[in-house]
Amino acid sequence: MHMARPALKTLTTGPPEARGEFIRLCSSGRLKDALHHPFRDVLWSEPTLFAHVFRACRAIPLLRQIHAFAATCGAAADRFTTNNLMLAYADLGDLPTACSLFERIPKPNVMSWNILIGGYIKNGDLGSARKLFDEMPMRNVATWNAMVAGLTNAGHDEDSLGFFLAMRREGLHPDEFGLGSVFRCCAGLSDLVSGRQVHAYVLRCGMDIDMCVGNSLAHMYMRCGCLAEGEAVLKALPSLTVVSFNTTIAGRAQHGDSEGALEYFSMMRGVGIAADVVTFVSIITCCSDLAALAQGQQVHAQVIKAGVDKVVPVITCLVHMYSRCGCLGDSERVYSGYCGSDLFLLSAMISACGFHGQGHKAVELFKQMMNAGARPNEVTFLALLYACSHSGLKDEGLEFFELMTKTYGLQPSVKHYTCIVDLLGRSGCLDEAEALILSMPVRADGVIWKTLLSACKTQKNFDMAERIAERVIEFDPRDSAPYVLLSNIRATSRRWGDVSELRKNMREKNVRKEPGVSWVELKGQVHQFCTGDKSHPRQGEINEYLEEMMAKIRQCGYAPDMSMVFHDMEDEEKEVSLTHHSEKLAIAFAFLSLPEGVPIRIMKNLRVCDDCHVAIKLMSQVTGREIVVRDVSRFHHFRDGKCSCGDYW
């Protein structure tokens, strides 16, 4: 049986009720019902109600029709109604019409000016907003707040701070929204001094327990590196919200305390506050930094449960997280589940392929993007060049570099040039690589020279290496990397006297080699190993397993690379030292702990040394297990005695 739609309330219940019903319909977006015949009498009798109709319009054509209807009623001449009509046009991006309305107001009030200024700011025209601001005969707190917030959102933090100070000089007191904007501006500038001064003002005004002010203040302290002060501000608030937790989680993540961020995430869930997109982006990034696969998988499940698994920033972080945890296949599955096209997501997937030595896949993804008509940016080309350099695709890399600069007219950064230097170095074109560094239009940094130095070592051009090492040391005399590389180069040539001299030089300059640390995740717990470390509870089993493993790979041709250790040690001591490198300890523990057939995933803070690289290839051969090692540069996938890096890293 067909059921008729319930009739709208009529005007027989009295004008006040009809007015309330009309406003309710507009607020809920039921504009067609609000303009139904019985309610037109309400508009005729009280034209100021047109303001609610204007706010309910979501498209310019409909707004123009309502505008014409208001003009017929004579309501458009009223300043209050005109202000709201102007606001509706500005919100929908039709600034010319908003300006035309403003010019026809006989005596625009402060609200009229503020609406037009806000419209310009919302549409990114800060110049016109500033011009109007300067022309205003009178300003109020909302005017200043709009300018401070607009400049802050546009990244003009110094100008924003200047407006705030000028506002105070005029004797105006900012409200919670203005203070929130100025704290974000101080955070953007990392201006702790100004931030503290505004904090003192907040305390005098008694606004320190306002949620908007408190969260923005905590964010400022976090961005300036004062985690304890930021957390103290949040603890003083009457309650904690998702914004409060997001501030703490992001603050800890940005300052390298990913474990602390994960603890706050657990606390957040414990008190029943639901995570939002911002939370998930921060916490997935933490899992990525820690290479905490199990925790990352748990967070992924929560993302799906929360219904945000199709949000591009979340997908991009998941692609990156699985890649950094050594699971390129999972990155590809997450990426393929997105039906749209997003440049940052594509760049993340290209980068993931490059990080795992899958340069051909990265190139194929880029070509698919080009065929779809997308326009690559600097980030996309950086990911692509990185992928080419890590897969030895010299010709393709040089071709893409030319495409970037000549076809798209993009300016390469030093990072783009570093990828090209790596490509040339990998191909043995060391002179060409050096010439590129010396001729490029951007200033060289230590990284690009270290890239060339590493290539000199690989290509065994020791004379050039000595010269390049001097340049690297000039950039950062306290960086141990060039000293270690140069020491290894001299050791390879058995120049032990020069090795001793270099290490003496390091001691005199108080340059310390960063200790090698490797770690492996097991059942959600991270097990960490340092070179020569004997503190692990299963150390006895690890040593015994390593002895057996080293014996097996010796039968396959393994010979310890003694150049990797101090020359003044006995050969037996050297071999023991090599055996107990952190990555070998972590791999032995993983073999003892993980079920048969499960890939072994190890993370290391430095590059894998030559000896360990050879040993791990042979371990994968004698055990038939896949061993994945992430070092500071890339992923190494060891299978059947071969490595995905092609022995160049």
DSSP 82-133: HHHHHHHHHHTT-HHHHHHHHHH-SS--HHHHHHHHHHHHHTT-HHHHHHHH
Is the torsion defined by CA of 56, 58, 64, 65 positive or negative? negative
| C-beta separation of 214 from 237 below 8 A | yes
Per residue, the 3-state secondary structure of 491-558, as one string, reads HHCCCHHHHHHHHHHHHHCCCCCCCCEEEEEECCEEEEEECCCCCCCCHHHHHHHHHHHHHHHHCCCC
| C-beta separation of 116 from 86 below 8 A | yes
Q: What are the b/e assignments for 179-207, b being 16+ CB within 10 Å?
A: bbbbbbbbbbbebbebbeebbeebeeeeb
Tokens describing residue 331? 């990155």
CATH of 240-340, one of 1.25.40, 1.10.150, 1.10.287, 2.60.40: 1.25.40
* Residue 440 backbone phi and psi in degrees, to 5: -70, 150
Distant-in-sequence, close-in-space partners of 629: CB < 8 Å, separation ≥ 6: 583, 601, 602, 603, 604, 608, 616, 635, 636, 638
Other Cβ atoms closer than 10 A to 271: 9
β-strand partners of 526: 521
| C-beta separation of 604 from 631 below 8 A | yes
| C-beta separation of 607 from 583 below 8 A | no
In angstroms, what CA-CA distances link 640 with 111, 622, 645? 73, 8, 14
d(CA 122, CA 118): 6
Specify the pLDDT at position 382. Answer: 95
Specify the pLDDT at position 535. Answer: 84
- Identify the segments of the chain with pLDDT beneath 50: 1-14, 567-573
Specify the pLDDT at position 40. Answer: 62
In angstroms, what CA-CA distances link 283 with 64, 212, 257? 46, 23, 11
Q: Which CATH superfamily is domain 442-509 in?
A: Tetratricopeptide repeat domain (1.25.40.10)
Which strand ranges, in their side-by-side order, compose the sheet holding 517-522?
A: 525-530, 517-522, 600-604, 627-630, 635-639, 642-643
Specify the pLDDT at position 569. Answer: 43
Rounded to 10 deg, the angle between the 359-371 and 394-402 helix axes is 30
User: Where does the chain hold its CATH 1.25.40.10 domain(s)?
Assistant: 442-509
| C-beta separation of 608 from 599 below 8 A | no
DSSP SS3 for 74? coil
Specify the pLDDT at position 480. Answer: 84
- Pinpoint the alpha helices (H) of 372-445: 378-389, 394-402, 414-426, 430-439
Q: Count of residues for the chain?
A: 649
The DSSP call for residue 595 is P
d(CA 53, CA 63): 9
